[in-house]
Amino acid sequence: MSLRGDVCLVTGACGFLGKRLVRLLLEEENAAEIRLMDKQVQSTFLQSLEGCRGDTKLAVFEGDIRDGDLLRKACRGASVVFHIAAIIDVIDAVEFSEMYGINVKGTQLLLEACIQENVASFIYTSTIEVMGPNSKGDPIVNGNEDTIYNNDLKFNYSKTKREAEQRTLQAHNEVLQNGGRLATCALRCMYIYGEGCRFLLHHMGKGIQNKDVLIRMSLPEARVNPIYVGNVAMAHLQAALSLKDPQKRSITGGNFYFISDDTPHMSYSDFNYAVMAPLGFSIQEKLMVPLSLFYMLCFIMEVLCMMLRPFIRVRPPIKRQLLTMLNTPFSFSYQKAKRDLGYVPRYTWEEARKRTTEWLASELTKERERIRVK
C-alpha cells in the first residue's frame, strides 16, 4: 500500500511540521500531486523541493483556511487531506474569536469541502493538550487511548483543538457526494521538537540573555515525552496508508491516536538542556522561586492584568495553567498507533538529538547577534 498516484492536500504546508511532511511525501510516496496550502507559500521553500520532486506535481493554494471557495478548489480531485494548519498559542496571546475561527471553523469548513469534493481520507493533527494536564496538575505516566482523565481545559488553544478533533472524528463515515464514505482519524502528538522548532529558539534566546544558562521552568520530576518532527511526519504518512487500506480503514477510521517516540522521558527544561548542552549551555539547578510561590506570583499578575483589561490589554508573562503544564508528569505510549497504523519511529533519540543540536548550532550566531542589537 502506498500513495503512489494519489493527490494529497497539506494545510499548513509551510509550517514546522508541514514542511517536513511535504518533503517526506515527495521523497517516498511518488504521489501524482501534492497541494501546498498556507496563508503564504514561500518561493524559497518551493525551490528547495525541486531536488526531490521527481514526477510529482506541486500546486500552491494561498489564502485563509476560512475561505470556503478556496477550500473546495484545493480539495477538488484530492484523495487525502492532511490538516495541520492551526494557531498554536499556550499563553493566550491570540483573541479567542480568531483562534476559534481558524482552529474550529476552519476545520469544519475543510471537512465540508472534503464531503462536497469526494475526498476519501482526512488526517487531523491534534495535540496532547486536548487531554490536559488539568488545572489540578493530576499526572499521567505512560497513558494510552483508554486512560480516563478529568481534563478541565483552560487554554483557548486546548479547547479549540479539542472541539476541532471532535468534529473530525464525528465526520467519519459521512456520505460523500459520489456516494462514498469519508474516513477520518486524529493524531494527538506530544510536544514536537526538531529542526525549525521556534520554541527551542525562544528558550535558547532566553539562555543567551541569561549568560548561557538555561532558565529552569519545570521540576526534574515533571517528566514528559517529546517527539521528533521526523517521526510525527512518519505517523501522518502511516495514518494515510491505513485509511486507504480497506481492511485497516474500519479499525483506524473515527479514532484518535497518541503519537510519541523513544525520546527519553524528562521535564521540558531538562529536554532543552539535553539538546543545548553540547553548545555550551548550562541550566539552573532549581526553579527561580519555590513552585507554590511561583503560582502565587502568577495569580497576582493575572489579577492585575484583568483589572487593567478595560483600559489596556496586558498579558502576563506566564499564567498558572502554563506553569501547571510545565510541572506535571504527562506522558503517553504510542503502542496503539504501532498496532493499528503500523507506526514505528524512524529516528532514534540519538539521531533526533544530533539533528536538532546541529540545527540549533547553525542558528546560534544569528540568535546571539539578534539579542546583541535588540
Which amino acids are annotated catalytic?
157
Rounded-to-integer distance, Cα 18 and Cα 263, Å: 21
How far apart are the C-alpha atoms of 122 and 115, rounded to whole Å? 10
Note whether 257 and 234 are within 8 A (CB): no
Residue type, 302: E
C-alpha span between 340 and 326 (Å, rounded): 31
First to last CA, the chain: 52
Q: What phi and psi, each to the nearest 5 degrees, are found at residue 33?
A: -155, 140
Please give the Cα distance from 317 to 300 (Å, whole number): 12
DSSP 1: -
- The CA angle 27-33-38, to the nearest 5 degrees, is 90
Taking phi over 0 as left and psi of -120 to 50 as alpha, with beta for the rest, 318 belongs to: beta
Give the count of beta carbons closer than 10 Å to the beta carbon of residue 87: 18
Strand partners, 7: 33
> Nearest to residue 135, comparing CAs of 264, 285, 266, 298?
298
**The 33-38 sheet, strands edge to edge:** 57-62, 33-38, 7-11, 80-83, 121-127, 183-189, 255-259
CA dist., res. 44 & res. 250, Å (int): 40
Q: Of 57, 56, 21, 55, which Cα lies nearest the Cα of 38?
A: 21
Q: Cell numbers for 7, please give them.
A: 493527490
Residue 101 CA to residue 65 CA, distance in Å, equals: 9
Bond before 264 cis per omega within 30 degrees = no
Query: Alpha-carbon distance 245 to 260, whole Å?
Result: 23
